[in-house]
Amino acid sequence: MNRETHSERGKRVSVAAGAELRRFVEDLAHLRRAELPVALPAPPEPKERNEDVLGEPLNMRAVAKLIGCSAWTVRQRYVPAGLPHLRSGPNGKLLFYKNQVIRWLLRQQQKGGMTL
């Protein structure tokens, strides 16, 4: 074993170990580097977008027209019965979403619930 050493960046390395390290690095240089994808694949698109799930926003009159009754009937009968809605504030307007209203109506009909 060769005991000669030389200083490399302040560290003492044996000449034999240095030569072995150089051969190892040269061998690595011939290997192919792993190819990485350019970017992550895009996440799958949801089957329905939130807009499609909720539908367009409707006011009280539009819901009444959709159901075929008066706005008074919507407020006094269907909202207390569970018609899905949002209130914009403590005393604010009621906001409905078309597809939610339609799904609720279909469920009521399937249950044999209230008549419209």
Is 92 domain-assigned? yes
Domain total in the chain: 1
Residues 83-92 have pLDDT tens digits of 999 998 888 8
In a domain, 38, yes or no: no
Q: How far is CA 47 from CA 1, 29, 40, 69, in A?
A: 69, 47, 21, 33
Tell me if the pTM is above 0.75. no
Per-residue pLDDT tens over the stretch 69-109? 999 999 999 999 999 999 988 888 999 999 999 999 999 98
* 45 occurs within a structural domain: no
The residue length of the chain stands at 116
Kindly report the CATH number assigned to the domain that includes residue 55.
1.10.10.10
| Residue 10 located in a structural domain | no
